[in-house]
Amino acid sequence: MSAGPDVPEGGERVFVGLGANLGEARQTVLRALDDLTRLPETCRVACSALYRSAPVDAIGPDFVNAVAELRTGLSPMALLQALQAIEQASGRQRPYRNAPRTLDLDLLLFGQRQLTASELTLPHPRLHLRAFVLRPLLDLAPDLRHPVLGVLQPFLGALADQSLQRLENPPAGDRVARQRGSRPPATG
């Protein structure tokens, strides 16, 4: 487990989607996963494998995607602001809806909270419609329940037509690698 300073006991279980399709997308996603470990009152519990996906409702090169599980004492809005700061530090621009991006961080689930605000909707309204979100999310939590839709696993079958390719195992030390019975890749 990678912990930032002052991680609260327990904290809220949160899932964040990561994606990039401009520049060195793989490196950007890996760097963002590392950046998540430095958020205040937050620890990264695990991250999924990296996946490659074709853009959905967008144009540009293929994306590199992953999902991270966090525990946080931050509020949903405070966490959203922290995620947007990481995006901006990676050069994220928003010239138009669904534009190609250097980094996209989406707050997918924040415990079982439901929220509708101009800048944030929880749960993410399309997480069950995107293979590049749902597959890595279910890698981390196969029995995960959505606060409105219930068990998410059955939604995966409807997404078989969306292009998705597993690229590599999670960074060394993350839980999903150990859950699958494999050893994290050696480094160095």
Q: Output the CA–CA distances (angstroms, integers) from residue 41 to 44, 114, 158, in the order listed.
A: 11, 21, 37
Catalytic residue among 44, 52, 71, 92: 92
Yes or no: say if 11 and 41 are a contact pair by the CB < 8 Å rule.
Answer: yes
Q: 76-89 and 25-36 helices cross at what angle (nearest 10)?
A: 140
Burial of 165 (0-12, 13-18, 19+ CB in 10 A): exposed
Catalytic residue among 52, 71, 101, 130: 101
101 catalytic per annotation: yes
Catalytic residue among 35, 52, 104, 130: 104
CA pair distance 8, 99, nearest whole angstrom: 36
106 catalytic per annotation: yes
**CA 135 and chain centroid, separation:** 11
* Residue 21 burial (CB count, 10 A): 24
Catalytic residue among 35, 106, 139, 174: 106
Yes or no: say if 31 and 42 are a contact pair by the CB < 8 Å rule.
Answer: no
What is the identity of the amino acid at 34? D
Both tokens of 86, joined, read: 């990481």
Active site residues: 92, 101, 104, 106
